[in-house]
């Protein structure tokens, strides 16, 4: 009888241990998920970002270059008076959103994206600083973008050199302080090139779509960027021609990028052709 009770106690103890193990295994995924969220929060915290910057020499230099670039582009931003082209920007930005788009039919040779941004900026006033804020901001943001492009194309060192050259470029500073679309176009085109280089390495459909999207935004900023974008799409065909012949499926990401570009840029492509025809048809005065 005592032996039976002993065996029963052992079985009950083993059963309890088994249940505890099952409960622990059920809680384990939740515990793991909580730990992952905690670790992610730590990575995204200000202190961790600061430590990463301080320990990464190139990143530290890039932050310094971007700060200097911002100072150079925003310093005395409203010092000079608005000149002719900037006055046109102000006049166009005063229109409604639909009215800005209609300007192309009326003979305006620049796409409307920059005028849309300036239209919203006018809610802060119509002074020189307000008009030039957007170009100065995008001019500053192009510095880290150029670094990433140089890093993707070659390495970190070349990325830093490229960022340094742009940060202190007198021409880029000049155009960053002008209420025109040049710095916005350069920013979007630089981002497009970054995704293009990533697409060549991985042939990832997301990278191709992002390349097409940012290329389209560059077109919405300035018509002449179409020449650079056309060359890049052609280059992609030439570089991947053998792969496309051997595996037609590998062409799908490229086609997805082209489709993204065509969908977003189609209004501007049509408008650009109209502008070109009008320019050719109109005799010089």
Q: Does residue 254 or residue 40 have the better pLDDT? A: 254
3: pLDDT confidence band, cut at 50, 70 and 90? very low
Judge whether residue 20 has pLDDT over 70.
Answer: no
- Could you give the CA distance from residue 269 to residue 219 in angstroms, rounded to a whole number? 8
* Residue 108 structure tokens: 């305006």
**According to the model, what pLDDT value does residue 18 have?**
53
With CA atoms as reference, report the closest residue to 192 among 154, 160, 227, 145.
145
114: pLDDT confidence band, cut at 50, 70 and 90? very high
Mean of pLDDT values over 254-273: 87
Q: What percent of the chain is modeled with pLDDT above 70?
A: 76
**According to the model, what pLDDT value does residue 51 have?**
61
**According to the model, what pLDDT value does residue 12 have?**
57
3-state secondary structure of 107: coil
- Could you give the CA distance from residue 119 to residue 125 in angstroms, rounded to a whole number? 10
* Residue 186 structure tokens: 């350069």
47: pLDDT confidence band, cut at 50, 70 and 90? low
- Which of 17-26, 156-165, 210-219 has the least mean pLDDT? 17-26
- Could you give the CA distance from residue 229 to residue 235 in angstroms, rounded to a whole number? 10
How many residues belong to the chain?
Answer: 285
Judge whether residue 25 has pLDDT over 50.
Answer: no
DSSP secondary structure letters along 162-185 = HHHHHHT-HHHHHHHTSSSSHHHH
144-153, pLDDT tens digit by residue? Answer: 999 999 999 9
Q: Does residue 20 or residue 100 have the better pLDDT? A: 100
Which DSSP state fits 282?
Answer: S
**According to the model, what pLDDT value does residue 142 have?**
97
**What residues contact residue 226 under an 8 Å CB cut-off, 6+ apart?**
219, 269, 272
Query: Alpha helices of 45-127 — where are they, by DSSP H?
Result: 46-55, 57-74, 84-93, 97-102, 113-121
With CA atoms as reference, report the closest residue to 114 among 128, 129, 101, 127.
101
248: pLDDT confidence band, cut at 50, 70 and 90? confident
* Count of CA atoms in the C-beta half-sphere (13 A) of 232: 25
**According to the model, what pLDDT value does residue 29 have?**
54
Judge whether residue 22 has pLDDT over 80.
Answer: no
DSSP secondary structure letters along 216-274 = HHHHHH-GGGHHHHHHHHHHHHHHTHHHHHH-GGGGHHHHHHHHHHHHHHHHHHHHHHH
| Max mean pLDDT range (63-67, 197-201, 220-224) | 63-67
Mean of pLDDT values over 238-243: 76
Q: Does residue 43 or residue 139 have the better pLDDT? A: 139
With CA atoms as reference, report the closest residue to 132 among 82, 186, 96.
82
Cα three-residue angle 165-236-268, rounded to 5 degrees: 75
């Amino acid at each position: 009888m005592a032996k039976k009770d002993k065996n029963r106690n052992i079985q009950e103890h083993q059963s309890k241990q088994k249940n505890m193990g099952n409960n622990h295994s059920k809680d384990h995924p939740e515990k793991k998920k909580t730990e992952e969220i905690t670790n992610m929060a730590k990575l995204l915290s200000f202190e961790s970002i600061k430590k990463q910057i301080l320990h990464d020499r190139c990143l530290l230099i890039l932050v310094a270059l971007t700060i200097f670039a911002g100072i150079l582009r925003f310093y005395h931003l409203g010092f000079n008076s608005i000149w002719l082209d900037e006055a046109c920007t102000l006049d166009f930005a005063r229109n409604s959103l639909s009215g800005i788009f209609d300007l192309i039919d009326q003979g305006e040779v620049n796409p409307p994206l920059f005028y849309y941004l300036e239209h919203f900026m006018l809610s802060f006033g119509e002074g020189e600083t307000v008009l030039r804020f957007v170009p100065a901001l995008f001019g500053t943001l192009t510095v880290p973008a150029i670094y990433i492009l140089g890093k993707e194309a070659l390495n970190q060192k070349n990325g830093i050199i490229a960022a340094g050259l742009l940060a202190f470029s007198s021409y880029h500073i000049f155009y960053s302080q002008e209420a025109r679309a040049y710095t916005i176009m350069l920013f979007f085109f630089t981002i497009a090139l970054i995704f293009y280089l990533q697409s060549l390495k991985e042939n990832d459909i997301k990278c191709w779509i992002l390349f097409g999207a940012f290329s389209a935004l560059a077109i919405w900023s300035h018509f002449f960027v179409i020449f650079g974008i056309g060359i890049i799409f052609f280059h992609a065909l030439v570089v991947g021609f053998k792969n496309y012949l051997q595996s037609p499926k590998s062409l799908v990401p490229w086609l997805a990028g082209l489709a993204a570009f065509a969908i977003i840029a189609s209004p501007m492509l049509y408008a650009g052709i109209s502008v070109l025809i009008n320019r050719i048809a109109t005799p010089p005065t």
